[in-house]
A and B are shown apart, each in its own frame.
Chain A
Amino acid sequence: MAEIKTKDFNEPDRTQMLDRLWEIQLKYGQITDTDILKLSEMYNLSGIEVEGVASFYHFFHRKPTGKFTIYLNNSIVSQHKGYTRILETFERETGAVLGSVDRSGMFGLFSTPCIGLSDQEPSALINFYPFTNLNAMKVKDIINKLKNNANPKSICDSPPDNIRYTPTENKSVFFRNFIPGTALAKASEMKPNGVLDALRVSELAGRGGAYYPTWKKWIAAKGQPSSPKFVVCNADEGEPGTFKDRVLMNSQPASLIEGMIICGFTIGAGLGIIYLRGEYRWLKAKLEDTITEYHNLGLLGKNCGQIRGFHFDIRIQMGAGSYVCGEETALLESLEGKRGEPRTKWYFPVEKGYLQQPTVVNNVETFCAVSNIIDLGTEHYLKLGIPGSPGTKLISVSGDCKLPGIYEIEWGMTVAELLELCEADDPYYMQVSGPSGECISIKEKFRRISMLDLLARKDIRCGGSFMIFNSQRDLVKVLMNFAEFFKQESCGICTPCRAGNFIIHRKLERLDSGMAIDEDLIELKTWGNIMRAASRCGLGKTATNSLTIAMEKFHPYFSDKLDKEFNGQSMKFDMEAATREYEIYKK
């Protein structure tokens, strides 16, 4: 890759902290005290500050992780597809217990939240290479091969894209034969203002799930006087059940790169950074190849796309396992080589983002949409979808259906149509936009999926994840899985999210054990509201969304779970459980 530092601007050394930590982790399987000391000297920081960074990301370990490090996905879809059996098999075959390394130091076995392969669960990463559709036989086979020193790279799966549906008659926006350079050439003709107009007309809005109008973000960054400016692609697709960005990067990397270049051209930025989640390390080579190809075509670098005076380069920054880094300000902190803690809203990223410079942060799908809209023209795009919500949307379908995968739907499709397309089997409730989103009952199957409704009362706004659960699934178990996820993934900086998620999880355990009373349900709801009102970022604000909604929509189910003998005075108390520890100790 050609080394072009645009506008003579150098990123400070500390921004490479995560890269250095990755190198050490991959090479030695752990980050030792000596490494921490070396890094702290290198960056002139105290040891504790470096340790703070290393301990924030769950792919960095302070203890050995074995020659082969296995991360088994523990998301709810994986749980439903046989996580427990696969885990048992891994434990038996490797001799390692979950969360540790076996005696020989060969295998380290860990669990991790969704790794973006929900359409082929159960799945795992071994030395960050994907292994999908696992079953006991397959696990046995993999471990045997590894014991004979096979390279995980050569025996891993190459996960299929599973693109199940695109709008008919070649109307697909995302999955088409995208020719590098065409969109940029058109953008160059349209000039920055033309691009902004096109985005405004096409009503493109942030596809990460927040749906902030893209043109507004870009115009705000364009108007900032300070320089340099940055373009950041949020490829930290961490919402459980989402894998659309994985498929886009695997099948359409050119449209992503070109979308970023067009953004750089429009706002006057010189550097683009793709923040790729650690779980997608296996996709990195593909993106790098595409970047090289763009360099070779003259579409990146000095005067790129033959636009005089426009110098633009793109680099990739690997994340290291942290859901909260999908929050844009946390992502910026992480890019700067710090702990991924969301910032306060003292400034917006378009004012002071990466390195306190104006920065546009957009999702993978948004950048892909930009280049395709510019290439296809807004007229074509506006014909798709419904008025007020034009175009198409990628939905990652997973869970209880025959055809999990990517569905490029026209906005306005109903839940019922989508369920039919994916051949859902006895759908009972659906989790839309991941754990932080909304849960819907099959009774609402005639609701449309669109971005029309700001409060999602009528239509459903889907960020990308669509998990289907049949009537045999235990809703409280699902919600506990989500609560556990948020408990682990909270950054820990603000009280309502750090303590609140922990507390909610405890309460759900009580509910699950049948000891809860009506009041507990009311408390769960009000506590959820407190977290929503007081949390620092979207993680804490939305962590209890599904819980609150589920309690409304599935009220009879929750009532059934309550202690029916409660007389208003004495609570259920499990004396046997409470004295068990003492009895066991004395025996």
Chain B
Amino acid sequence: MSKLINLTIDGKKILAEENKNLMLVARENGIFIPSLCYYEHIEPPLGSCRVCTCNINGKNGPACTEKVSVGMEVQVNKEDLRDIRKALVEMMFAEGNHICPACEKSGHCDLQHMGYELGISSIRFPHLFKDRVIDYNPSRIVMEHNRCIKCLRCVVDVHSKDGKRVFNYLNRGNETYVGVDYVEEAKLTDDEIMNAMKICPTGAIIVRGVSMSEPFGDRKYDQESVQDLRHTEKKETSGHPKILEKKIIATVSLAGCFGCHMSLLDIDTDLLDVIELVSFDKSPLTDIKTFSHRCHIGLIEGGCCNSENIETLKLFREHCDILVAMGECAVWGGLPAMRNSIPLSECLEEAYLNCVTNEPSNNIIPYHEDLPKILDKVYGCNEIVKIDYFIPGCPPDANHIWKVVKNLLWGEEFSVLYSEFKYD
């Protein structure tokens, strides 16, 4: 056993083996440092995702490529460092096409997990919507490039019995992706191929014909945080505490499926309390079509896929004090945004001309001056107007929605439970 040395992490004195990986030392001491590419048995560490960036002896750097040494001083939970790490995870969401509700790995996904742990409700960066073609050529796996975060784990760790690489980076810059060697891939044993899927931190490597045993909601990252959350501060109150008067809410579903509205009703008997406290103006719940009052809150479901959505959204902005984007579609586009990496013409043809459920001889693409015009892509609401709050989820948990609404209206403190915070 190597020599024991002293170091401090966030002011806490720690005794650890010299030259041990800082990530491991922090983990053993109950200090949570987010990470995605780090995988214990890969030596030397990869240092590709940068999500574990800390301040080490006064310099910023990833914890995973650092060996602990005498007197080392590490800062993890400083405000700016937390923000950097959060931003890096957000970058991965912005760069890939991560659609949690449609992903097999949801609940088992490390990227999603980091999003939950860091409380990412919306992405500060514009989604890049790069077209990434899924590779169905390998015989045993499907390579879902939309979900790959280029962590290098599979590249470095998966070898065929001849010691050759099965995965490797191709291209460069923002065109970089992980290619599969079909010949070597076919040589892998069943265990090896399952291991490849297991070490992938997202759902990029999917083994054909394998079903996930646990249902959504009961998976590894669905229920509990790995962090000790006793010390995390409650969300700040930023509402408008006033005398308890009846508040007015408007809601709308733009390019959404009404699923968020359904979820809204899922609070069951609490609904009776809510009716006492709020009244609804323009909303599909009341079927009121135009605004009759100025509203305290506007709840927006869905993003903007046509010109009418844009106009409605701007109308909401004019008539509501606070706008809340409710659900993945409103936050960044969500499922409808799957079309953003595909040319519009292809989408229209697929939907209106070549679709198998089309009636024969009735195939036209709608276009009329009275009809809204389809936009070039689906926009998240905050690209069009200022959005004050974001509630992620597809749909968001009912409790999550009402906690936000109540807090905003009456300035009550609240905290969203880990299990209520979801992308799927």
Contacts and interface: CB of A to CB of B under 8 A. Distances in A.
B126 A507 contact: yes
Interface stretch (B205-213, B260-268, B273-281, B382-390): B382-390
The interface residues of chain A, by DSSP majority, are classed as helix
B73 to A, nearest CB: 17
A58 B171 CA distance: 9
A579 B375 contact: yes
Given A52-B170, A495-B50, A580-B376, A47 B92 contact: no
B357 interface: no
A568 interface: yes
B48 A527 contact: no
Interface of B: 44-51, 53, 60-62, 65, 83-84, 87-88, 91-92, 94-95, 124-126, 128, 149-150, 152, 160, 162, 164-176, 179-181, 183-184, 307, 310, 314, 317-318, 344-345, 348, 365, 367, 373-377, 379, 383-386
Interface of A: 44-49, 51-52, 55-56, 58, 322, 339, 341, 344-346, 487-496, 498-503, 506-507, 523, 527, 530, 533-536, 568-571, 573, 575, 577-583, 585-586
Nearest to B151: A495
Given A530-B88, A569-B317, A570-B314, A494 B49 contact: yes
A492 B175 contact: yes
Nearest to B96: A499
Contact of B91 (A56, A503, A506, A581): A503
A579 B373 contact: yes
Contacts of B176: 491-493, 498
Contacts of A492: 150, 169, 171-176
A575 B307 contact: yes
Contacts of A580: 376
Contact of B168 (A46, A488, A573): A46
A183 to B, nearest CB: 38
B172 A58 contact: yes
B413 to A, nearest CB: 27
A536 B181 contact: no
A315 B281 CA distance: 79
Q: Which 8 A-B pairs have the closest CB atoms?
A: A492-B176, A48-B181, A46-B164, A52-B168, A499-B95, A344-B47, A579-B373, A499-B91
Contact of A570 (B51, B345, B385): B385
Contacts of B374: 579, 582
Contact of A498 (B51, B150, B310): B150
Given A523-B124, A534-B88, A579-B376, A49 B168 contact: yes
Q: Which of B50, B53, B348 has the most CB of A within 10 A?
A: B50
12 contacts: A46-B160, A46-B164, A55-B172, A58-B172, A346-B45, A490-B172, A492-B171, A493-B176, A495-B49, A500-B91, A573-B383, A579-B374
A523 B73 CA distance: 30
A338 B112 CA distance: 32
Given A46-B181, A55-B170, A503 B65 contact: no
Contact of B44 (A344, A494, A569): A344
Contact of B165 (A45, A56, A491, A573): A45
Contacts of B92: 495, 499
A535 B50 contact: yes
Nearest to A489: B173
Contact of A503 (B125, B152, B344, B367): B125
A571 to B, nearest CB: 6
A48 B178 CA distance: 9
Given A55-B170, A495-B149, A47 B60 contact: no
B179 A494 contact: no
Contacts of A488: 172-173
A533 B152 CA distance: 21
A44 to B, nearest CB: 8
Contacts of B167: 48
Contact of B84 (A48, A530, A586): A530
B65 A344 contact: yes
A579 B375 CA distance: 5
Contacts of B165: 45-46, 48-49
A248 to B, nearest CB: 28
Given A51-B168, A571-B383, A581-B344, A502 B65 contact: no
Given A52-B179, A503-B126, A573-B384, A495 B173 contact: no
A581 B62 CA distance: 44
A578 B166 contact: no
B383 to A, nearest CB: 7
Contact of A345 (B65, B83, B169): B65
A498 B50 CA distance: 12
Contacts of B128: 499, 502-503, 506
Given A530-B87, A533-B53, A580-B376, A570 B384 contact: yes
Contacts of A498: 95, 150, 173-174, 176
Nearest to B377: A578
A534 B50 contact: yes
Given A339-B169, A495-B149, A579-B307, A527 B87 contact: yes
B255 to A, nearest CB: 13
A322 B174 contact: no
A506 B91 CA distance: 13
Given A55-B172, A344-B65, A579-B374, 17 more contacts: A44-B162, A45-B165, A47-B181, A49-B181, A490-B172, A491-B173, A492-B169, A494-B47, A498-B174, A499-B95, A501-B174, A502-B128, A503-B91, A503-B125, A503-B126, A578-B379, A582-B376
